[in-house]
């Protein structure tokens, strides 16, 4: 390990301006002048002049690191050597693929920028662990990035530094012009072998001048791999919100920094249906700009209003009601996809959006909003987040949101899918939303309900050993949107293939004969589907007995196999499934055995199965209702016991016997 | 078709758009930068630190209206019959025209022209265009990108709205130099026609002497007219082959001479859409297509590849030292190959850095890959070959097209073929294939998607077919000792081990899992088969010892598993049904073949000990199925003396591909196998 002192710390990539030429070439260097017909660029000390007519654009780097950078001392090589030598991390790294000996993050201000520095010192413990030697860092277009150093200390003490061709600059966007972009850099470290130690430090400089696109990062004090020492320094000028760190994370003030420190962080196991770590991990939120939602909302609505003075109102005279207006905009303005966290929250000028016929979800919503205002309505704008991440009510940052909803009177409109009906919003929407006009965080479910429901009525009869089903399925909300989208995008033949696949997986081993879409109006939030399918070998004969397959949905017991749980179970969206099945029994047989009714109902879910017999009809009722997005660890065991007991119905039998 | 710039009327609006870091924007027709200060419109002075981007706008091109009604109507007429024939199509492709030109200097042009009538909202996505190019090899020009409106307006894309981006890389593939041009054609609505034409000039091809044009004539939407044109100098020879052509299509192209060129034209009309199916072969293996080459033999391509390879397969003293140390104390050639094969999989990570031709097909020098500790398939294959050569074993890198992603090679049309490199190794004169790209392939196993494809061995100037293995050599073995307890709980002791590549998947899965997740994973596995399951113990043998077979042992109890119903006791043999479920045969019939990665074999052995008070009422009959595609044999026997039921079965799938004409029979065969898994054993109280 003594060779470590020979390490050289080199800044591999300095920030630079980029001149984009029409022929696709990129010229990197410092732009030193722009004149009438040419631009001069200094590239590695040499000057080059480029004709203006050859240029499409120039991007300027914001940050040029220099000696005046405000840094506090990072760990030095002696500390690093001692940390590797003392092996104290062994207590948490047994059975792991790698361990982070140190992770040090620092956030501070520098002039009008916010700087994030990250240093990771990682030891690879298995060949699988060596794959964790590549990284992708992404950041907004206006930020700049540099690798301060990146090196691998081999087990024999030799040091291998990164090669420039193993750093890739990415601008990962094909969005239309004018939209903010994100960039990224991907880094592959050489020499990653078992017992090697990887050590790298990067720096990202964020512009903080745009209050609607501020600095925002969450720092999680737990991970799926062990961390021996995790230290976060945050300059005290910045807004900080802490969640769940009491008694877990050490917190103290050093000069003008707050230091958060946690040692010997054990790895969280990966679990099925695990929630995002934001639901269970200690977190420190760091952000710039506003401290109150009201201030953020006031600034945001100003930007929104600037872009929503719509001039082509007459083009929409023919639309008599709001619902048809919504359907028209939602279906005909071409959404280019992507998340607002990457492309931004401020809508573009609605006149341009209308003229171009393309835009983001926010642009579509803004166009709708502007038309409603011109018609004298007072529409509400709700910014909403999706349930896959925990929404933090105390952190007023736009980046927490994933979508925008427009509400007028008692109806609500969601532009996140081209085939959304009116008066509907996606069932993955979280309960808490920002009402932009009032600046309040509100519970959106108080006025508008989520729809996510499937109701099925099945009649079944036997022919030989095949069970034939006539199935009427009524879908409400999210499932109906999914099918309608396919109906609109697929040809009849490919849609049929989709339904064949659906039938086969939903009704294990069944084959579609035909189907009818009874109603497919995109505007309404339901869809009626008649399916005709059959299941060959639907029963097995053994001696005098006929064993029927249980025709109910299979309860997934894999997820609840584990006796204890380290993370909450993430159920996701609330939903309801109801299935009523009537089976006409063949002549000459009687029911020899049928399972007992079983049910449970708690605050997270409701399951029930009932079976009845009348003349030659077997009647089965199945009901499943998901009520919550999360099952916390503390209630896991009780819930598991109830669910597993119920799941035994999957393995039950209906046995018929010849009379 | 006139060039784009001739068909529009430029309107000068401003020369520069200045974007600030705070999100503000300014437009100006005068802009200067001197030192650290920008001067905008001669009046505004701004420090450069505030400016994020300047967009140069020599000619701001607004939506330009020109009478195009007759053009719209002409295209619309061409789409009409297909619209009637396919009323639910998302769009009609009116023109699908590609032209490949081989220029005298060895550079080449590729021009593509498409015209589409948009019939559904989802077709609007076609307005977003994204085209890749490699700046060191090709130039890309957008000749035309416009929308034709039914009222005759023609709206062109604004050249200033065309962006050039770095290629987006995913996973462990890096693109050092590729670029993408992206733009969105504005004002596109359902009912419009969009027209796109672009040209690539490949000024620096891999090999100027090799020209291998190809074209597919079918799309996922109906096509009114598809045309492929190839132009080559008169001095050149073009060999070509048509594939998957419907019987009614003209087999020969129109050929004529023009100027100093020979021109070949294949043109077809009213082509139905391709309806995709799961597990179907790659597009070019089923769609009508033409492949062509100016090479009448493989020699030039062999030599080109071989020159790169030979220069990189260099045994240096360091490589010799490593190779010697790896095979120390190993005498047999197969032992040596196994040692090196396992070492390279574990020590050299898979990362592909696509920066230049050096890493495109030819790979880095063996010593460079060794020092980096990572490389792509070619790099790993070259290093593997070099290490083997160092210990006197003959080996070669070979190029293949993986069976799930790449079309099958036509050996009569020489081409730069493949998306993957593996290694051919000779042991005692017999050639075998190995793939060092994997993490966990135990010698002599290698990746399943490498099988049933052609391999190009450039150094030996050979093209050889890699066969699909005999399924008996790649069996998955599941052995159970089962004891039915007096209280009707059932105790299982199970052992799983594998002879083929399936082991690599299982090994990777458990290596990826951390040790503190193992118990929960085993618990989940047993609970997915029975809710009242209790894990007693588990053990994984040889997980990190690639030289030895992986073996999984589990011991668990299923409480209340035997169902007592009146006077009978029902026992269903667990778990085997999950392995023989054949979910892929859900379609009633198929248009395209059903494909798998490779052949397959599964074997069960179950010994079931009965309690003293139960005896067998009935056992399922044995089953014996044999078809050209699969065989399945299963039998239950009851040993009254030892009070044991013995169950054995063997499933073998011999082929990788089931043609569509044999699908229905194949489906019906595997359904019988599925049905067999449901048959219960019925027990009864033993009469005293």
The CATH number of the domain where B318 resides is what? 3.10.620.30
Contacts of B588 in chain A (CB under 8 A): 500, 511-512
CA A255 to chain centroid, in Å, comes to 37
* Architecture per CATH, A17-59: Roll (2.30)
Give the helix/strand (H/E) hosting A433: strand A429-435
Contact B176 A331 (CB under 8 A): no
Task: Please say if the pLDDT value at position B357 is more than 60.
Answer: no
Does residue B64 belong to any structural domain of this protein?
A: no
Q: Which of B258, B293, B328 is the last residue of a domain?
A: B293
Q: Which of A81-90, A299-308, B90-99 has the highest mean pLDDT?
A: B90-99
| Band of residue B262 on the pLDDT scale cut at 50, 70, 90 | very high
**How many A-B residue pairs are in contact by the CB < 8 A criterion?**
315
B679 → closest Cβ in A26, A166, A540: A540
Does residue B418 belong to any structural domain of this protein?
A: yes
Q: What is the 3-state secondary structure (H, E, C) of B376-392?
A: CHHHHHHHHHHHHHHCC
B504 and B370: one domain?
no
User: How far is residue A475's CA from residue A454's CA, in Å, rounded to a whole number?
Assistant: 5
pLDDT of residue A88: 78
| Band of residue B65 on the pLDDT scale cut at 50, 70, 90 | very low
Share of chain B above pLDDT 70, in %: 91
User: How far is residue B175's CA from residue B166's CA, in Å, rounded to a whole number?
Assistant: 8
Identify from A60, A466, A551 which residue to disrupt to test chain B contact, counting B C-beta atoms within 10 A and taking the largest count.
Answer: A60
Round the average pLDDT of chain B to a whole number and report it. Answer: 89
Q: Domain containing B280: what range?
A: 69-293
State the average pLDDT over residues A315-330. Answer: 91
In A, minimum Cα distance to B582 occurs at A509
Nearest to A308, CA basis, from A400, A390, A381: A381
Per residue in B207-236, pLDDT tens?
899 999 999 999 999 999 999 999 999 999
| Band of residue A451 on the pLDDT scale cut at 50, 70, 90 | confident
Q: Which range among A118-122, B200-204, B355-359 shows the weakest confidence by mean pLDDT?
A: B355-359
Does residue B271 belong to any structural domain of this protein?
A: yes
Does residue B614 belong to any structural domain of this protein?
A: yes
Does residue B62 belong to any structural domain of this protein?
A: no
CATH number of A452-658: 2.60.120.1130
Question: Between residues B370 and B57, which one has the greater pLDDT?
Answer: B370
Nearest to B453, CA basis, from B427, B418, B426: B418
Contacts of A39 in chain B (CB under 8 A): 33
pLDDT of residue A24: 60
- Burial of B53-65, coded b for 16+ CB within 10 Å and e otherwise, reads bbbbbbebbebbe
- Locate tokens 């002696």: which residue? A78
Contacts of A502 in chain B (CB under 8 A): none
Torsion angle, alpha carbons of A95, A100, A102, A106, to 10: -140
Return phi, psi of residue B634, to 5°: -145, 145
The CATH number of the domain where B37 resides is what? 2.30.30
pLDDT of residue B25: 66
Nearest to A484, CA basis, from A424, A542, A440: A424
- Burial of A564-593, coded b for 16+ CB within 10 Å and e otherwise, reads ebbbbbbbbbbbbbbbbbbbebeeebeebb
**A309 half-sphere exposure, CB direction, 13 A CA radius:** 3
- Helix axis angle for B377-390 and B317-327, nearest 10°, is 70
User: How far is residue B57's CA from residue B29's CA, in Å, rounded to a whole number?
Assistant: 9
Q: Which of residues 553-572 of B touch A (CB under 8 A)?
A: 560, 563, 565-566, 568, 570, 572
- Which regions of chain A carry the CATH code 2.30.30.100? 17-59
Contact B531 A501 (CB under 8 A): no
A653 → closest Cβ in B162, B351, B563: B563
A432 and A442 Cβ atoms separated by less than 8 Å: yes
pLDDT of residue B15: 62
pLDDT of residue B5: 32
Question: Measured between CB atoms, does B515 come within 8 Å of chain A?
Answer: yes
Does residue B63 belong to any structural domain of this protein?
A: no
A116 and A146 Cβ atoms separated by less than 8 Å: no
| Band of residue A169 on the pLDDT scale cut at 50, 70, 90 | low
| Band of residue A140 on the pLDDT scale cut at 50, 70, 90 | confident
Task: Please say if the pLDDT value at position A653 is more than 50.
Answer: yes
Does residue B94 belong to any structural domain of this protein?
A: yes
State the average pLDDT over residues B173-201. Answer: 83
User: How far is residue B359's CA from residue B312's CA, in Å, rounded to a whole number?
Assistant: 12
Pairing of strands B420-427, A545-548: unpaired
pLDDT of residue B434: 98
pLDDT of residue A3: 41
User: How far is residue B418's CA from residue A651's CA, in Å, rounded to a whole number?
Assistant: 48
DSSP three-state, residue A548: strand
pLDDT of residue B259: 85
CB within 8 Å of B518: residues ≥ 6 apart: B510, B538, B540
Per residue in B442-463, pLDDT tens?
999 999 999 999 999 999 999 9
Per residue in B392-426, pLDDT tens?
999 999 999 999 999 999 999 999 888 899 999 99
In A, minimum Cα distance to B587 occurs at A500
DSSP letter at A387 equals T
Identify from A114, A128, A288, A537 which residue to disrupt to test chain B contact, counting B C-beta atoms within 10 A and taking the largest count.
Answer: A128
Contact B520 A269 (CB under 8 A): yes
Torsion angle, alpha carbons of B41, B45, B46, B52, to 10: 20
Return phi, psi of residue A262, to 5°: -140, 130
Question: Between residues B235 and A536, which one has the greater pLDDT?
Answer: B235
B532 → closest Cβ in A142, A492, A648: A648
The CATH number of the domain where B114 resides is what? 2.60.40.3140
| Band of residue B62 on the pLDDT scale cut at 50, 70, 90 | very low
pLDDT of residue A1: 37
- Which regions of chain A carry the CATH code 2.60.40.3140? 66-287
pLDDT of residue A145: 82
Task: Please say if the pLDDT value at position B167 is more than 80.
Answer: no
DSSP three-state, residue B657: strand
B415 and B442: one domain?
yes
Number of H helices, E strands in chain A: 11, 40
Q: Which range among A44-53, A110-119, A397-406, B192-201 shows the weakest confidence by mean pLDDT?
A: A44-53
Sign of the Cα pseudo-torsion (B157, B160, B164, B165, in order):
negative
Contact A509 B674 (CB under 8 A): yes
pLDDT of residue A180: 57
DSSP three-state, residue B181: strand
Shortest Cα distance, chain B CAs vs residue A442, angstroms: 29
Return phi, psi of residue A239, to 5°: -75, 135
| Band of residue B45 on the pLDDT scale cut at 50, 70, 90 | confident
Question: Between residues B180 and A566, which one has the greater pLDDT?
Answer: A566
**A214 half-sphere exposure, CB direction, 13 A CA radius:** 23
Pairing of strands B475-484, B600-609: parallel
pLDDT of residue A67: 32
How many folded domains does chain B comprise?
4
State the average pLDDT over residues B143-149. Answer: 93
pTM value is 0.86
Contact B525 A558 (CB under 8 A): yes
pLDDT of residue A60: 72
Task: Please say if the pLDDT value at position A176 is more than 60.
Answer: no
**B524 half-sphere exposure, CB direction, 13 A CA radius:** 16
Share of chain A above pLDDT 90, in %: 50
DSSP three-state, residue B560: coil
ipTM value, please give it: 0.84
DSSP letter at B210 equals -
- Locate tokens 């045994």: which residue? B315
Task: Please say if the pLDDT value at position B6 is more than 60.
Answer: no
- Domain A293-446 -> CATH class: alpha beta
B327 and B340 Cβ atoms separated by less than 8 Å: yes
Q: Which of B395, B429, B464 is the last residue of a domain?
A: B464
- Domain A66-287 -> CATH class: mainly beta
User: How far is residue A324's CA from residue A413's CA, in Å, rounded to a whole number?
Assistant: 11
pLDDT of residue A287: 92
Question: Between residues B15 and A411, which one has the greater pLDDT?
Answer: A411
Does residue B10 belong to any structural domain of this protein?
A: yes
Q: What is the 3-state secondary structure (H, E, C) of B228-292?
A: EEEEEECCCCCEEEEECCCCCCCCCCEEEEECCEEEEEEEEEEECCCCCCCCCCCHHHHCCEEEE
Sign of the Cα pseudo-torsion (B230, B234, B237, B239, in order):
positive
Q: Which of A141-150, A351-360, B264-273 has the highest mean pLDDT?
A: B264-273
pLDDT of residue A36: 77
State the average pLDDT over residues B292-312. Answer: 95
Structure-block tokens of residue A9 = 């710390």
B529 and B609: one domain?
yes
Question: Between residues A143 and B642, which one has the greater pLDDT?
Answer: B642
B356 and B212: one domain?
no
B496 and B607: one domain?
yes
User: How far is residue A243's CA from residue A237's CA, in Å, rounded to a whole number?
Assistant: 19
B275 and B323: one domain?
no
User: How far is residue A226's CA from residue B532's CA, in Å, rounded to a whole number?
Assistant: 33
State the average pLDDT over residues A621-644. Answer: 96
């Amino acid at each position: 390990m003594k060779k470590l002192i020979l390490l050289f710390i080199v800044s591999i990539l300095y920030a630079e301006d980029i001149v984009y030429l029409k022929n696709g070439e990129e010229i990197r260097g410092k732009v030193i002048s722009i004149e009438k017909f040419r631009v001069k660029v200094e590239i590695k000390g040499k000057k080059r002049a480029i004709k203006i007519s050859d240029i499409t654009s120039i991007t300027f780097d914001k940050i040029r690191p220099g000696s005046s950078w405000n840094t506090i001392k990072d760990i030095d090589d002696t500390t690093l050597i001692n940390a590797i030598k003392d092996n104290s991390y062994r207590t948490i790294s047994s059975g792991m693929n790698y361990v982070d000996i140190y992770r040090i993050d620092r956030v501070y201000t520098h002039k009008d920028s916010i700087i994030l520095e990250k240093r990771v010192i990682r030891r690879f413990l298995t060949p699988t662990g060596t794959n964790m030697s590549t990284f992708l860092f992404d950041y907004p277009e206006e930020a700049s990035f540099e690798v301060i150093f990146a090196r691998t200390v081999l087990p024999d003490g030799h040091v291998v530094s990164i090669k420039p061709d193993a750093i890739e600059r990415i601008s990962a966007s094909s969005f239309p012009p004018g939209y903010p972009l994100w960039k990224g850099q991907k880094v592959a470290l050489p020499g990653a072998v078992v017992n090697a130690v990887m050590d790298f430090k990067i720096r990202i400089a964020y512009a903080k001048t745009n209050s609607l696109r501020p600095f925002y990062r969450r720092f999680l004090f737990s991970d799926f791999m062990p961390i021996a020492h995790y230290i976060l320094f945050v300059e005290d000028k910045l807004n900080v919100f802490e969640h769940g760190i009491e008694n877990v994370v050490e917190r103290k003030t050093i000069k003008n920094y707050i230091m958060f420190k946690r040692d010997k962080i054990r790895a969280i196991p990966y679990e099925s249906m695990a929630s995002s770590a934001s639901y269970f991990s200690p977190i420190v939120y760091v952000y710039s700009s506003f401290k109150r939602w009201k201030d953020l909302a006031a600034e945001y609505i100003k930007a929104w209003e600037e872009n929503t003075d719509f001039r082509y109102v007459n083009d929409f005279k023919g639309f008599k009601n709001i619902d048809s207006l919504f359907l028209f905009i939602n279906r005909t303005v071409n959404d280019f996809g992507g998340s607002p966290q990457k492309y931004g929250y401020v809508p573009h000028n609605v006149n341009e959006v209308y003229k171009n016929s393309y835009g983001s979800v926010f642009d579509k919503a803004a166009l709708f909003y502007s038309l409603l205002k011109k018609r004298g309505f007072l529409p509400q704008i709700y910014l909403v987040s999706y349930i896959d991440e925990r929404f933090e009510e105390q952190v007023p940052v736009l980046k927490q949101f994933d979508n925008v909803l427009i509400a007028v009177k008692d109806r609500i409109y969601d532009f996140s899918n081209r085939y959304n009906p009116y008066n509907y919003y996606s069932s993955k929407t979280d309960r808490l939303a920002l009402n932009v006009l009032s600046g309040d965080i509100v519970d959106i479910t108080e006025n508008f309900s989520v729809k996510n429901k499937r109701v099925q009525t099945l009649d079944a009869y036997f022919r030989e050993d095949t069970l034939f089903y006539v199935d009427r399925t009524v879908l409400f909300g999210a499932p109906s949107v999914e099918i309608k989208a396919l109906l609109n995008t697929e040809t009849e033949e490919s849609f049929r293939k989709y339904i064949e696949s659906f039938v086969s997986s939903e009704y294990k081993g069944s084959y579609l004969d035909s189907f009818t879409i009874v109603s497919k109006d995109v505007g309404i939030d339901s869809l009626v589907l008649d399916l005709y399918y059959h299941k060959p070998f639907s029963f097995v004969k053994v001696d005098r007995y006929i064993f029927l397959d249980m025709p109910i949905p299979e309860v997934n017991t894999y997820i609840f196999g584990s006796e204890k749980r380290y993370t909450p179970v993430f159920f996701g969206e609330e939903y309801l499934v109801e299935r009523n099945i009537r089976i006409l029994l063949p002549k000459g047989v009687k029911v020899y055995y049928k399972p007992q009714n079983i049910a449970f109902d708690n605050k997270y879910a409701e399951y029930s199965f009932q079976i009845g017999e009348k003349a030659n009809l077997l009647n089965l009722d199945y009901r499943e209702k998901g009520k919550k997005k999360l099952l916390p660890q503390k209630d896991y065991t009780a819930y598991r016991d109830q669910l597993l007991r119920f799941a035994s119905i999957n393995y039950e039998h209906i046995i018929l016997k010849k009379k | 078709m006139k060039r784009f710039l001739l068909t529009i009327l430029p309107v000068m609006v401003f020369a520069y758009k200045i974007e600030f870091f705070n999100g503000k924007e300014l437009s100006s027709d005068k802009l200067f930068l001197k030192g650290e200060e920008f001067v905008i419109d001669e009046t505004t002075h701004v420090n450069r630190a505030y400016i994020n981007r300047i967009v140069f706008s020599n000619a701001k091109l607004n939506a330009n209206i020109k009478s195009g009604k007759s053009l719209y109507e002409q295209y619309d007429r061409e789409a009409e019959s297909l619209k009637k024939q396919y009323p639910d199509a998302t769009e009609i492709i009116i023109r699908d025209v590609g032209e490949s030109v081989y220029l005298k200097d060895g550079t080449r042009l590729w021009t593509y022209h498409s015209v589409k009538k948009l019939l559904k909202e989802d077709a609007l996505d076609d307005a977003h265009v994204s085209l890749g190019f490699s700046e060191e090899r090709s130039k890309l020009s957008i000749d035309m990108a416009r929308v034709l409106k039914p009222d005759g307006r023609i709206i062109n894309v604004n050249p200033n709205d065309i962006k050039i981006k770095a290629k987006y890389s995913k996973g462990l593939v890096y693109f050092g130099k590729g670029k993408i041009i992206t733009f969105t054609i504005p004002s596109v609505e359902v009912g419009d026609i969009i027209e796109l034409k672009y040209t690539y000039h490949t000024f620096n091809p891999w090999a100027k002497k090799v020209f291998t044009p190809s074209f597919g004539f079918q799309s996922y939407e109906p096509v009114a007219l598809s045309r492929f044109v190839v132009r080559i100098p008169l001095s050149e020879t073009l060999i070509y082959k048509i594939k998957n052509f419907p019987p009614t299509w003209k087999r020969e192209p129109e050929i004529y001479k023009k100027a100093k060129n020979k021109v070949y034209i294949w043109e077809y009309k009213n082509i139905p859409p391709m309806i995709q199916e799961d597990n179907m072969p790659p597009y070019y293996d089923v769609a009508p297509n033409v492949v062509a080459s100016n090479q009448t033999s493989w020699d030039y391509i062999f030599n080109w590849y071989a020159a790169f390879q030979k220069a990189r397969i260099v045994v240096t003293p360091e490589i010799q030292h490593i190779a010697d140390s790896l095979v120390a104390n190993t005498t047999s050639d197969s032992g040596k190959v196994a040692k090196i094969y396992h070492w390279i999989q574990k020590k050299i990570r898979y990362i592909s850095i696509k920066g230049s031709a050096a890493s495109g097909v030819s790979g880095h020098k063996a010593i460079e890959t060794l020092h980096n500790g990572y490389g792509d398939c070619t790099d790993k294959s070259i290093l593997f070959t070099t290490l083997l050569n160092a210990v006197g074993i003959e080996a070669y890198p070979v190029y293949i097209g993986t069976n799930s992603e790449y079309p099958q090679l036509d050996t009569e049309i020489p081409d730069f073929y493949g998306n993957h490199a593996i290694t051919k190794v000779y042991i005692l004169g017999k050639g075998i294939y190995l793939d060092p790209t994997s993490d966990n392939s135990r010698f002599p196993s290698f990746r399943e998607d490498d099988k049933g494809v052609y391999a190009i061995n450039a150094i030996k100037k050979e093209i050889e077919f890699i066969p699909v293995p005999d399924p008996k050599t790649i069996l998955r073995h599941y052995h159970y000792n089962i004891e039915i307890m007096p209280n009707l709980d059932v105790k299982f002791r199970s052992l799983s081990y594998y002879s083929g590549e399936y082991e690599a998947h299982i090994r990777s899965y458990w290596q990826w899992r951390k040790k503190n997740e193992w118990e929960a994973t085993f618990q989940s596995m047993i609970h997915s088969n029975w809710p009242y399951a209790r894990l007693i113990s588990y053990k994984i043998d040889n997980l990190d010892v690639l030289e030895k077979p992986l073996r999984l042992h589990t011991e668990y109890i299923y409480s209340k598993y035997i169902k007592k119903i009146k006077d009978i006791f029902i026992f269903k043999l667990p778990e085997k049904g999950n392995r023989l479920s054949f979910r892929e045969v859900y379609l009633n019939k198929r248009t395209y073949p059903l494909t798998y990665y490779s052949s397959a074999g599964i074997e069960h052995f179950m010994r079931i000990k009965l309690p003293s008070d139960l005896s067998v009422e009935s056992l399922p009959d044995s089953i014996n199925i044999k078809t050209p595609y699969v065989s399945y044999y299963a039998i239950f026997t009851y040993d009254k003396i030892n009070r044991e039921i013995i169950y054995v079965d063997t499933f073998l799938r011999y082929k990788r591909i089931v043609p569509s004409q044999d699908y229905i029979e194949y489906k019906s065969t595997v359904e019988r196998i599925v049905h067999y898994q449901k048959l219960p054993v019925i027990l009864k109280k033993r009469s005293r």
